[in-house]
Amino acid sequence: MGARELSPPLVRGLAAARAYARFLVDPIGYLRESYRRHGPLHLLGAPLPLLPPRRRYVFALGPDHNRVVLGDPVTFRTTGQTLPGPKGSAQRRLRYGLTRSQREAHARQRELVLPVFQRAAVDRSIPRMVAVVDELLDRWRVGQTLDMAHEMKWVSLRLSSEILFGRDDPERALRLGEMIGEWLERNFRPGVWLALLNVPGTPYRALLRHAERLEAEIGALLDRRRRAGAAGGDVFSLLVRAHAEGQPWMSDRDLVGQATILFAASYETTENALAWTLFLLAQHPERTEEIAEELAGALGGAAPGAAELARLPLLDAALRESLRLLPPVPYTIRSVEGEVELAGATLRRGDRVVLSHYVTHHLPELYAEPERFLPGRWLELRCTPWEYLPFSAGPRLCIGFSFANVAMKVVVARILQRFRFALRPGTRIDPWVKVTMAPRRGLPMALHAPGAKLAPQPVRGRIRELVDLPV
């Protein structure tokens, strides 16, 4: 994906309209192509009525731009990647969480929930993680064919509900997760973006109505937590107590937004990271067996604890490589707060800067053979936070990165202690981006016993444009 440095071009008119449409429908394809054509920086004008007339989209790709933009959250403010919705709407309130709060409010809100996500607290939760994963695996049988994307969604929802809700009503948590997933998907339907008409029968009206139902469900859960006294140490109890104490940085809008965004972020990223990891391991069975041997030597059949997880370099390397090759969040957007220079371009207040984890992770000057799954590179490779950023970087680093890392290690370790898996031959796999990147049609895999001699299976679809597969 190497490209020569260019002065930043500005794409206008119909060419910009086509570029916006391509970015909406196929963001990864557009980002790859734009880097090849324009280099690390290019700008799109605003030809569409739905955009402010002076706003431009600035595609700033690569580690140098990551460092400047992510390192300065005051100049480059976080902004939601979902549609904002009309003023006073549930759609607008749902997207206002930790990822969008600013300055003092963000600092206070992050400080409030940080203890739940610190490594010591996460390590204490490992036995409960193991119990949740084992509950899933106890339902699996050798010879079954399962949709691993669906299975990873179930386990991720359960793990997220533990840290966010405690053990209160896991079925409600699963239902809420389904509603949040549908809300995210509705935000990225082309019909919604192309016609922002709040009239009956339009996709946009359907999105706003779904947002109202989701907000009502979150409100019912929060009310239930209030009535129960909100005495727990889970995230929702912490949020409810801060709101009840009248903290100025925890308004009704903040409470609903925090609940939505934290839950969506905690399970969506973990779910998709796990799904892609299992896909890559299924297509590289020799790597799977190396990790299984490492687990057998370190654990036998026992469940891992914090100390054991820290001594599994091959498992760690496989997860790092999966997050590099198919990052669950392939791009992020920041809003420019005031005029600023960026690599020779003068950005204006209101411009949007698009950074890409995916493009950075596939630069050949950073990663040899970037489209190949090569976990062994991580046994020696050292990167800066701006070169490897599956959980973002800088002051707004994802608060749940320790939770996600530990949860993924527990899930993959427990699966490989009991099963092997192979994709159904000829499966079509198309990556689909709706904030996070998921396999559009699932991942059907057959379960096998440990020791089974498996081979990578031929697959179809756009995944072959992103990954250099062995068959």
CATH number for position 352:
1.10.630.10
Percent of the chain with pLDDT over 90: 53
**Alpha carbons 238 and 330: distance in angstroms, whole number:** 31
Q: Which helix (H) or strand (E) holds 10?
A: strand 10-11
**Alpha carbons 366 and 445: distance in angstroms, whole number:** 33
Q: Which helix (H) or strand (E) holds 341?
A: strand 340-342
On whether residue 53 sits in a domain, the answer given is: yes
Q: How many residues does the chain have?
A: 471
On whether residue 4 sits in a domain, the answer given is: no
| Max Cα distance, the chain (Å) | 63
Tokens of 71: 């390192």
On whether residue 341 sits in a domain, the answer given is: yes
For the chain, which ranges sit under pLDDT 50?
Answer: 2-6, 98
The model's pLDDT over 78-92, given as tens digits with 9 standing for 90+, comes to: 876 677 888 888 888
Paired residues of 448 in beta bridges: 420
Q: Where does residue 442 fall: left (phi above 0), alpha (psi -120 to 50 degrees), or beta otherwise?
A: left
pLDDT of residue 192: 81
**Alpha carbons 53 and 172: distance in angstroms, whole number:** 43
Query: Is there a contact between 223 and 234 (Cβ–Cβ < 8 Å)?
Result: no
pLDDT of residue 168: 62
The model's pLDDT over 52-70, given as tens digits with 9 standing for 90+, comes to: 556 789 999 999 999 999 9
On whether residue 3 sits in a domain, the answer given is: no
Pairing mode, strands 420-423 and 444-448:
antiparallel
pLDDT of residue 212: 92
DSSP secondary structure letter of residue 305: -
Q: Domain tally for the chain?
A: 1
pLDDT of residue 47: 58
Distances (CA, A) of 467 to 22, 271, 289, 300, 470: 21, 19, 21, 33, 9
On whether residue 405 sits in a domain, the answer given is: yes
**Alpha carbons 316 and 291: distance in angstroms, whole number:** 9
Which ranges constitute the DSSP H helices of 310-356? 313-325
HSE value, Cβ hemisphere, 13 Å, CA-based, for 319: 22
Tokens of 336: 């420019």
On whether residue 431 sits in a domain, the answer given is: yes
DSSP secondary structure letter of residue 367: S
On whether residue 79 sits in a domain, the answer given is: yes
How many CB atoms sit inside 10 A of residue 256's CB?
23
Residues spanned by the domain of 286: 10-466
Q: Which residue has the tokens 């969008």?
A: 100
pLDDT of residue 183: 86
The beta-carbon contacts of 219-228 under 8 Å, at least 24 apart in sequence, are 219/256, 221/165, 221/169, 221/172, 221/176, 221/259, 222/255, 222/256, 222/259, 224/168, 224/169, 225/168, 228/168
Sheet holding 420-423, edge to edge: 145-147, 444-448, 420-423
**Alpha carbons 309 and 160: distance in angstroms, whole number:** 19
On whether residue 19 sits in a domain, the answer given is: yes
Query: Is there a contact between 94 and 186 (Cβ–Cβ < 8 Å)?
Result: no
